[in-house]
């Protein structure tokens, strides 16, 4: 990441002609400033093969073995790049002792964008070990995923 | 059955050592059953008391739903403080925090008849939202 503040531009568009009584056409854009400080010093883009796993046993992002943690607020982009099985997304605020909470269920090709915070989502008073977890729901299922995350302000 | 087309772009020239240019589109169909019989679009004023955003979704989001939430509060300007961040809870557990001007969207699934609530840590916040039951 380059020195100083960096920027990201995100735009989402929803359109439908049969979901609501009127046609839906909505576009929203946000420009994010990633601070050039320790609160915004990390960003990663990764691909994974997600296996079936119960909550707490899936793929943790970043890995539990990783020494450094996400700091402050973090944005996640997640996409199920597989073609057959859904991808479950969970979030957990602690390294151990807390069962991750399921929040997302992405069908093949679907994507999502979340923002986490290690403050309000913390469960033991120590701002550490914020993790996103991915897996499939049923034995013998696997899928592939792309995950892109970047730290924001504290 | 209905469908909704979603497009997301993310662009940056300096967060990574290379240019990030994500442009994904997906058309999502709703099922033709009671699990996908509700959609809502609206806006809410949010306080420190958790407020359910899917009240009209027949008692809770049955299983999977497309959820969009934007914090429509004011961002900080010179001499004026920002409106508070919005905390999103799944069955009472915080799963997200959205700053003014930011939005999120996700294919949500917290389990059968899940409840999504929004609140602030202090002060009054503002959101616009869309919830579409899928399956």
Is A25 in the B-facing interface, judged by CB distances under 8 Å? Answer: no
Does residue B36 contact residue B30 with C-beta atoms inside 8 Å? yes
Cα nearest neighbour of B132 on chain A? A19
The 3-state secondary structure of A84-137 reads CCCEEEEEECCCCCCCCEEEEEECCCCEEEEEEECCCCCCCCCCCCCEEEEEEC
**Looking at residue B62, what is its pLDDT?**
76
* Residue B89 pLDDT level (bands cut at 50, 70, 90): very high
Residue A136 C-alpha, separation from nearest chain B C-alpha, in angstroms: 13
Write the pLDDT tens digit of every residue in A42-69: 888 999 999 999 998 999 888 776 655 6
Instruction: Spell A81-99 as b/e; 16+ CB within 10 A means b.
Output: bbeebbbbbbbbbbbeebe
Q: Are A8 and B20 an interchain contact pair (Cβ–Cβ within 8 Å)?
A: yes
Residue B116 C-alpha, separation from nearest chain A C-alpha, in angstroms: 10
Whether the pLDDT of residue A124 is over 70: the answer is no
**Looking at residue B53, what is its pLDDT?**
87
Write the pLDDT tens digit of every residue in A68-88: 567 778 899 999 999 999 999
Neighboring chain A residues of B109 at a CB cutoff of 8 Å: 88, 102-105
Q: How many contacts, defined by CB atoms under 8 Å, are there between A and B? A: 158
Q: Rounded to two decimals, what is the model's pTM?
A: 0.91
């Amino acid at each position: 990441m380059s020195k100083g503040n960096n920027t990201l531009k995100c735009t989402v568009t929803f359109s439908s002609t049969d979901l609501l009584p009127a046609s839906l056409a909505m576009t929203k854009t946000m420009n994010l400033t990633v601070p050039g400080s320790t609160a915004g010093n990390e960003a990663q883009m990764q691909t994974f093969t997600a296996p079936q796993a119960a909550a707490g046993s899936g793929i943790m992002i970043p890995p539990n073995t990783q020494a450094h943690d996400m700091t402050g607020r973090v944005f996640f982009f997640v996409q199920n790049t597989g073609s057959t099985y859904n991808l479950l997304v969970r979030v957990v605020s602690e390294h151990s002792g807390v069962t991750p909470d399921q929040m997302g269920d992405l069908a093949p090709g679907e994507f999502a964008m979340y923002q986490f915070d290690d403050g309000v989502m913390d469960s033991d008073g120590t701002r550490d070990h914020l993790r996103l977890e991915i897996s499939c729901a049923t034995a013998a299922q696997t899928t592939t995923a792309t995950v892109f995350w970047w730290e924001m302000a504290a | 059955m209905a469908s909704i087309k979603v497009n997301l772009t993310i662009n940056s020239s300096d967060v990574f050592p290379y240019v990030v240019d994500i442009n994904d589109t997906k058309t999502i169909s709703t099922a033709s059953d009671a699990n996908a019989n509700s959609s809502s679009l609206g806006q809410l004023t949010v306080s420190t008391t958790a407020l359910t955003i899917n009240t009209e979704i027949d008692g809770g989001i049955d299983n999977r739903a497309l959820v969009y939430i934007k914090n429509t509060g004011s961002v900080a300007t010179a001499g004026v403080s920002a409106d508070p961040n919005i905390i999103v809870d799944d069955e009472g557990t915080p799963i997200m925090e959205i700053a003014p001007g930011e939005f999120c969207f996700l294919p949500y699934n917290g389990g059968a008849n899940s409840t999504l609530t929004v609140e602030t840590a202090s002060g009054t916040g503002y959101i616009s939202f869309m919830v579409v039951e899928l399956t």
